[in-house]
Amino acid sequence: MKLIFITGPSGSGKTTISKYISQHLTNSYILSTDNYYKTGFISKISSKIIKSYFDKILSHEQGLIKSDIDYILKNNSINHYYKYNFIKKVTKKNLKNFSNIQNLIVEGIFSLELTDFFSENQYLLIRIKEKKSLCRERILKRDSIERGKNKILNLHYFNNGWNIYKNKEKKYRSKINRGITLNKDSDLDTLLKNLTK
């Protein structure tokens, strides 16, 4: 099984690239780190008092997503998926069977941290590099519609999240340098050829 991690700051196009790759690789399954946020009272309080809480790893259910990835790698299948509601801040577990998974794509702002758990597995890390202004434009549009965020607050959150992510990239520089960096001029067909070898 191919294990692919896709990382990049918010609004860089991780979900779009993941879907594109999934459509061109047989039996692909996408796990989004966005669906593994912590929920409940402590998470709600933490989000009120901790600056940029949802951009920090402490907001994330690392154990749960790691467990799902481990299960898929061992069984080539999974019988559920999670969906996080950004407005209500709750997660719903949905039962559905996905079998014969040959390509597991893990995408999201917490993908870099997840590579720490799978250092013994062969994986490909794809980093999406995009201009801050374009990412900001996408996020302002997306989050006001999908996540019910106020435009001014959203801009503030975006700038904080951008800085948190860029500092994380510095920490993981050696892993990023061994992976693939995509930008607006990248040839996705060449990437797909490399993935299907």
Task: Convert the pLDDT of each residue in 32-55 to its tens digit.
Answer: 999 999 999 999 999 889 989 999
Per-residue pLDDT of 158-193, as tens digits, reads: 899 999 999 999 999 999 999 999 987 788 888 887
Model pLDDT, residue 126: 96
C-alpha angle 180-172-61 in degrees, rounded to nearest 5: 100
The arrangement of secondary structure in 2-195, i.e. its CATH architecture, is 3-Layer(aba) Sandwich (3.40)
pTM of this prediction exceeds 0.95: no
pLDDT at residue number 144: 66
Q: How far apart are CA 144 and CA 160, in angstroms?
A: 17
Interval 55-88: pLDDT, tens: 999 999 999 999 999 999 999 999 999 999 988 8
Closest CA to 107 of 10, 184, 173: 10
pLDDT of residue 147 exceeding 80:
no
